[in-house]
């Protein structure tokens, strides 16, 4: 059974890209269940109570959610159903370790990743192994339930058309993606994951988020492939990245204000820039004049996804070079990412802004030009998503405004017409960011 809640009053109602993925994921699930997925829309507690009574149910089971509002909701549902005499149980279907299982010796939660993962998680019992697909399931189609289309999850305008080319939104698609990664991508994961034009990242995050494959399956598939991996640091690095996902959920569980409040209160006085609508819009649309930033933002818009290295670069650029509050980036990603996940999105934006747990130091400011030269040397990633620069020589594609008039003319590029001039000076904006941080650091 799937119940789609009324999202009218929800602060973190599903973004557009997530709704698009959910529509196709539900269609795929319904097909795999021979059309017997029961779909409802409304208030879960009332719907479950009514269905339990009408069908003489004795048990209700579900997998846990860890967002603060979900914990509160599910607690109320569990209490009310138990009072009605039902056996109610919830299970961990999406994490390797429960957040309350991993604590420091004094019983408090970790705030730094490495000790959390190395001294905490890895010292606990190993994650549970995935169960086999049931040999037989008795499925029952209830009356008066809805179709997937009735939920109206798809956009009214066709911005999603290109996204179909990039994803197989099904359990089989998830398994194929995992197989491809453990047999090929993981071989050079530690270094290869930094290069946006290489296929060394797993791209499993939306499948994890929507439950089309479990993180446990990825954990054990990667471990099982260990014999095929030339350098064991590739396996360790991938597993630790799964650990970062765990850490994000862990932080959200222990610090439920994570999506809205700085974990480091001193950042509450940070002097964010004002009247930044034009800069924010240029960043959102991939029109900043910095090719790597623009390629990342356009990849996000076209595919619903962005390479992780590039996520750090575009996040740093918005927060530090433009001095735009991290909430704006968090909200844009929430709407545009197919893997939009409250825990990971919030923790990652706080990390890049320097105000979260185990955060990158604020003075660590990614230079989009040097990052581009290092990780997209020939400009292949840029050419793919910023086609107006496709004919620029590799030497100048990272900072095209520095090219001579002759080179620009040969490439068919006029700065300010075909491609925007930089909206901010990278050196001056860095100094401005460091001054803002110094003010915050020295505030009482």
Based on the residue annotation, tell me whether 334 is a catalytic residue of this protein: no
Percentage of the chain modeled with pLDDT above 90: 89
Judge whether 272 counts as a catalytic residue: yes
Which is nearest to 321 in space by CA: 416, 434, 402, 415?
Answer: 434
Confidence of residue 226 (pLDDT cuts 50, 70, 90): confident
Question: Across all residues in the chain, what is the average pLDDT?
Answer: 95
pLDDT of residue 8: 66
Identified catalytic residue from 62, 159, 272, 401: 272
pTM of the model: 0.95
The terminus-to-terminus CA distance of the chain in angstroms comes to 53
- Separation of alpha carbons 196 and 294, rounded Å: 13
161 pLDDT tier (thresholds 50, 70, 90):
confident
- Lowest-confidence region among 46-55, 136-145, 380-389, 426-435: 136-145
Burial 270-296 (b: 16+ CB within 10 A, else e): beeeeebeebbebbbebbbbbbbbbbb
* Integer Cα distance of 357 and 243 in angstroms: 14
Average pLDDT over residues 78-102: 97
Which regions of the chain carry the CATH code 3.40.50.620?
2-93
Mean pLDDT of 139-162: 91
Query: Phi then psi for 89, rounded to 5 degrees?
Result: -135, 140
Architecture in CATH of 265-442: Orthogonal Bundle (1.10)
> Residue 308 pLDDT > 80, yes or no?
yes
Instruction: Provide the 3-class DSSP secondary structure of residue 60.
Output: strand
Active site residue 326: yes
CATH number for the domain running over 2-93: 3.40.50.620
Where in the chain are all domains bearing CATH 1.10.579.10? 265-442
From 12, 332, 349, 351, active-site residue: 349
Catalytic annotation, pick one of 308, 373, 391, 401: 308
**Catalytic option among 98, 241, 302, 373:** 241
Taking each helix axis from N to C end, the angle separating 16-32 and 171-183, rounded to the nearest 10 degrees, works out to 100
Q: Which fold has domain 94-131+173-254?
A: 1.25.40
Structure tokens at 42: 């409304």
Closest listed residue to residue 345, CA positions, set 441, 435, 264, 248: 248
Catalytic residue among 219, 283, 326, 332: 326
171 flagged as catalytic: no
Mean pLDDT of 292-320: 97
| Tokens encoding 10 | 């929800």
For residue 29, the tally of other CB atoms under 10 A from its CB is: 18
Question: In the annotation, is 308 catalytic?
Answer: yes
Handedness of CA 330, 332, 338, 342 (dihedral sign): positive
Residue range(s) of every CATH 1.25.40.80 domain in the chain: 94-131+173-254
349 is catalytic: yes
What was the pLDDT predicted at 362?
Answer: 76
When pLDDT is cut at 50, 70 and 90, the band that residue 160 belongs to is: confident
Interatomic CA distance for residues 27 and 147, integer angstroms: 9
């Amino acid at each position: 059974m799937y119940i789609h809640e009324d999202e009218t009053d929800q602060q973190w109602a599903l973004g557009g890209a997530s709704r698009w993925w959910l529509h196709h994921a539900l269609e795929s699930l319904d097909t795999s269940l021979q059309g017997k997925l029961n779909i409802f829309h409304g208030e879960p507690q009332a719907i479950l109570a009514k269905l339990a009574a009408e069908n003489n149910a004795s048990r209700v089971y579900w997998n846990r959610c860890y967002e603060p509002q979900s914990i509160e909701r599910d607690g109320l549902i569990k209490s009310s159903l138990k009072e009605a005499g039902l056996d109610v149980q919830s299970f961990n279907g999406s994490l390797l370790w429960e957040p309350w299982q991993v604590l420091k010796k004094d019983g408090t939660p970790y705030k730094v990743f490495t000790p959390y993962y190395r001294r905490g998680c890895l010292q606990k019992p190993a994650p549970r192994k995935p169960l086999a697909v049931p040999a037989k399931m008795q499925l029952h189609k209830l009356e008066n339930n809805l179709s997937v289309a009735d939920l109206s999850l798809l956009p009214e305008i066709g911005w999603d058309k290109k996204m179909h080319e990039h994803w197989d939104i099904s359990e089989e698609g998830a398994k194929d993606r995992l197989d491809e990664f453990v047999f090929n991508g993981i071989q050079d994961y530690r270094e290869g994951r930094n290069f946006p034009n290489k296929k060394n990242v797993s791209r499993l995050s939306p499948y994890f988020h929507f439950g089309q494959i479990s993180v446990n399956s990825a954990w054990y598939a990667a471990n099982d492939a260990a014999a095929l991996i030339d350098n064991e640091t590739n396996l360790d690095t991938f597993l630790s990245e799964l650990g970062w996902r765990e850490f994000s959920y862990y932080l959200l569980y222990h610090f439920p204000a994570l999506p809205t409040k700085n974990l480091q209160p001193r950042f509450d006085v940070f002097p964010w820039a004002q009247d930044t609508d034009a800069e924010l819009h240029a960043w959102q649309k991939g029109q900043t004049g910095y090719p790597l930033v623009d390629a990342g933002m356009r990849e996000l818009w076209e595919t619903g996804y962005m390479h992780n290295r590039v996520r750090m670069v575009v996040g740093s650029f918005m927060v530090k070079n433009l001095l735009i509050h991290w909430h704006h980036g968090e909200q844009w990603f929430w709407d545009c990412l197919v893997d939009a996940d409250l825990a990971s999105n919030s923790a990652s934006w706080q990390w890049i802004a320097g105000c979260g747990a185990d955060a990158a130091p604020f003075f660590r400011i990614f230079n989009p030009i040097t990052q581009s030269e290092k990780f997209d040397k020939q400009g292949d990633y840029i050419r793919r998503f910023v086609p107006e620069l496709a004919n620029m020589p590799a030497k100048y594609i990272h900072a095209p405004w520095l090219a001579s008039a002759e080179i620009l003319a040969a490439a068919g590029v006029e700065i300010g017409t075909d491609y925007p001039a930089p909206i901010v000076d990278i050196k001056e904006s860095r100094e401005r960011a460091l001054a803002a941080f110094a003010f915050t650091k020295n505030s009482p």
